[in-house]
């Protein structure tokens, strides 16, 4: 009698991802949302305040496979050039963003492989 082990093949892996689809995407989206709000909070602390309009307009939105943090006030671009707030908010939180995204991806992958990714037969 023969015994062998097999690490999951690409086709089976793709099938696991398809089956987990929405649940995995939801976990990734939650991580992106959390990272975006981290940058948003930081940008609101860094923005040069005159009237508070720009600060109040800084928001996070989820777009396909990404989080966007920004503002639509007309003077935000020149303000960012004189008193940067978005770029430093992103840069200052880079490590924490990596931790948040890593955790979200790890949870998503853990769900996919909860039954393992090897076979012994």
Whether 77 maps to a domain, the answer reads yes
Whether 1 maps to a domain, the answer reads no
Whether 121 maps to a domain, the answer reads no
Whether 97 maps to a domain, the answer reads yes
pTM: 0.80
Whether 118 maps to a domain, the answer reads no
Gap between the Cα atoms of 96 and 80, Å rounded: 23
Q: What percentage of the chain reaches a pLDDT higher than 90? A: 61
Cβ contact 72:56 at 8 Å: no
Instruction: Count the domains in the chain.
Output: 1
| pLDDT tens by residue, 10-63 | 677 777 777 777 888 888 899 999 999 999 999 999 999 999 999 999 999 999
* Domain membership of residue 48 as a residue range: 9-113
């Amino acid at each position: 009698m023969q015994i062998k082990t097999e690490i999951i093949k690409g086709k089976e892996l793709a099938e696991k991802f398809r089956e987990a689809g929405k649940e995995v995407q939801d976990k990734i989206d939650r991580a992106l949302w959390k990272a975006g709000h981290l940058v948003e909070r930081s940008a609101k602390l860094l923005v040069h305040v005159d009237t508070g309009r720009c600060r109040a307009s800084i928001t996070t939105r989820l777009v396909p496979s990404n989080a966007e943090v920004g503002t639509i006030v007309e003077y935000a671009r020149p303000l960012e050039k004189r008193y940067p707030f978005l770029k430093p908010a992103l840069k200052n939180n880079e490590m924490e963003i990596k931790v948040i995204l890593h955790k979200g991806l790890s949870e998503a992958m853990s769900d996919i492989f909860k039954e393992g990714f090897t076979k012994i037969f």
